[in-house]
Amino acid sequence: MVAEDDLKLFHQVLTARSVPKIPETLENDDISVLLSELVAVRDALVQFAHGNFDIDLTGRNVFMATLKTLQAHLRHLTWQVGEIAKGDFSHRVDFMGDFSKAFNSMVSQLKHSLTELKDREASLLALTANLKTSEERWNLAVQCSRDGIWDINIDNRTAWYSGNFMHMMHYTTEDLPQELHWESKIHPEDSVQAGILSNVLQGIGELLPFSEECRFLTGQGDYRWVQVRGMPVHSESGRRLIAVVSDISAQKMVEASLMLQAMYDNLTGLPNRHLLDDRLKQAVANSKRGGNPFIFVTLDLDFFKEVNDTYGHIAGDKVLVELAERLRVGLRNTDTAARLGGDEFVAVFACDVDKEEAMTEIIMSRLYERLKPPVMLDNVEYQLRVSAGVAFFPKHAQNLLTLFEHADVALYKSKEKGKNQYTIFEQNNAAE
């Protein structure tokens, strides 16, 4: 059994800073040497605890031998940690039992984690590079395109507008409607398109791609034709509407010009035969549906060939334009005047039931009154003379072809009677 004095001495050796005084009961040479070596071991362990493994260890007893072995292991372990810090995970610890297994497992996990981090870093760098490239392409496309762009968040009611859009529509940042009530900027006649856009911006119904054309109010107070092509996007920030806005004003002007050329006479500006056919079909449909008749008049300039031969075709054109203008003056919104070609004109007048002849008398008397002022041709007064034939729908004809024929019959009667007058078709004239 260990004596109490022995335990006290050992405790003092491990805790004291210097070699303690040996009790007289234990004093001998072997004990003194042992105590000195224990103190040396204690000091060495203190140095190890502070990370200093390069101290000089002297002594050949079992304590020092064990301590030297521990010192060698700690030195190797320190070196290995340094290699790991440099990225070298190839070394392994094959001593210290379970500690070695745990340490080697930790190294393997560190290597695996570092590899994953490097792979993620490479992926992130590649993604960042691709994102930068995509952003550069996007910015370049936005800058090079003449179109404007919206990016509107439907959920949080925020919006971004490209510089091209603001320039195209003459808006500043302060002018743009952050409340997103764009329907107030659309022409009143384009109410259908305004309703569609309003529903999209308010998130009403299913969000689908759309393309609409409408007239949009600019910052200068005028309307401009635009095409809005929108694509809904569902992102983490909410539902967004990304739209490309194209100025199609020039295109609409071309379309209007082509429509004008296709439907109107180039010289007089009156509807041509194509538009007249459409107007007549509408008049027939309205007459059959509502029961109201209409008056159909064919007109022909008298002595027009002599005008061209005497004064030239420019003068002849002037006469045609003047006749067209005097026809146009007497028209109501429900009436139509058209030029078929040459000196042939047609007029269509809406009429009440059983009022055809009375209305004809009023219309034609006013027309001939407007024809009285002469036209100046080369400083010479020229008197407009017009022969006209009148037929009623459906009284005189049940279809347009017959209506034309009967009006022409009446027109020829006017010429036979001396010209510069009108004649209403009579059924007995059709057989002549």
DSSP secondary structure letter of residue 190: G
Burial zone of 389 (CB within 10 Å; 0-12 exposed, 13-18 middle, 19+ buried):
buried
DSSP string, 58-92: ---SHHHHHHHHHHHHHHHHHHHHHHHHTT-----
Question: CB neighbours (10 Å) of residue 154?
Answer: 20
Q: In what order do the strands lie in the sheet with 294-301?
A: 336-341, 344-350, 294-301, 386-393, 422-424
Query: Which of 25-29, 163-167, 233-237, 402-406 ranks highest by mean pLDDT?
Result: 402-406
Reply yes or no on whether the pLDDT at 36 is more than 90. no
Pick from 41-55, 187-201, 390-404 the range whose average pLDDT is largest: 390-404
Binned at pLDDT 50, 70 and 90, residue 190 comes out as confident
Give ∠ CA 118-121-123 in degrees, rounded to 5. 110
Contact in structure between 381 and 375 (CB atoms under 8 Å): yes
Per residue in 263-283, pLDDT tens?
Answer: 999 999 999 999 999 999 999
Q: Place 54 in a pLDDT band, splitting at 50, 70 and 90.
A: low
d(C-alpha 270, C-alpha 346), whole Å: 10
Mean pLDDT along residues 362-385: 91
Contact 331, 324 (CB under 8 A): no
* Residue at 4: amino acid letter: E
**Cα→Cα distances 386→140, 142, 255, 303, 333, Å:** 66, 62, 35, 9, 24
Reply yes or no on whether the pLDDT at 138 is more than 60.
no
Question: φ and ψ at 48, to 5 degrees?
Answer: -60, -40
Which among 60-74, 89-103, 116-130, 148-162 has the top mean pLDDT? 148-162
Residues annotated as catalytic (active site), given as ranges: 343
Greatest mean pLDDT among 62-76, 165-179, 228-242, 405-419: 405-419
378 vs 217: which has the higher pLDDT: 217
Residue 8, pLDDT > 70, answer no
Mean pLDDT, to the nearest integer, of 110-137? 72
Residue 28: CB atoms within 10 A of its CB come to 9
Residue 381 bridge partners (DSSP):
376
- Which distant-in-sequence residues (6+ apart) come within 8 Å of 411 by Cβ? 298, 299, 300, 387, 388, 389, 423
Q: Is it true that the peptide bond before 394 is cis, omega within 30 degrees of 0?
A: yes
pLDDT, greater one: 101 or 37? 101
* Band of pLDDT at residue 32, cut at 50, 70 and 90: low
Q: For residues 168 and 123, what is the distance between their CA atoms, to the nearest angstrom?
A: 40
Supply the pLDDT for residue 335. 94
The pLDDT, as a whole number, for residue 150 is 80
Query: What's the whole-number mean pLDDT along residues 226-242?
Result: 82
Smallest Cα–Cα separation from 183: which of 191, 172, 171, 174? 191
Distance CA 68, CA 309 (A): 135
For residue 181, what are the CA distances in angstroms to 176, 194, 218, 228, 239?
A: 10, 10, 15, 15, 17
Structure tokens at 244: 């490309």
Q: Which two tokens stand for residue 412?
A: 């020829």
pLDDT of 26 above 50 = no
Tell me the domains of the chain and their CATH numbers: 4-85 (no CATH), 146-252 (3.30.450.20), 268-429 (3.30.70.270)
Instruction: Look over the chain and give the mean of its residue pLDDT values, rounded to a whole number.
Output: 80
Phi, psi dihedrals of residue 293, rounded to the nearest 5°: -80, 175
| Complete DSSP assignment for 277-298 | HHHHHHHHHHHHHH---EEEEE
d(CA 126, CA 326) in angstroms, rounded, equals: 76
User: Is the per-residue pLDDT at 400 higher than 90?
Assistant: yes
More confidently predicted of 40 and 406 = 406
Per-residue pLDDT at 125: 75
The pLDDT tens digits for 216-227 are 888 888 999 999
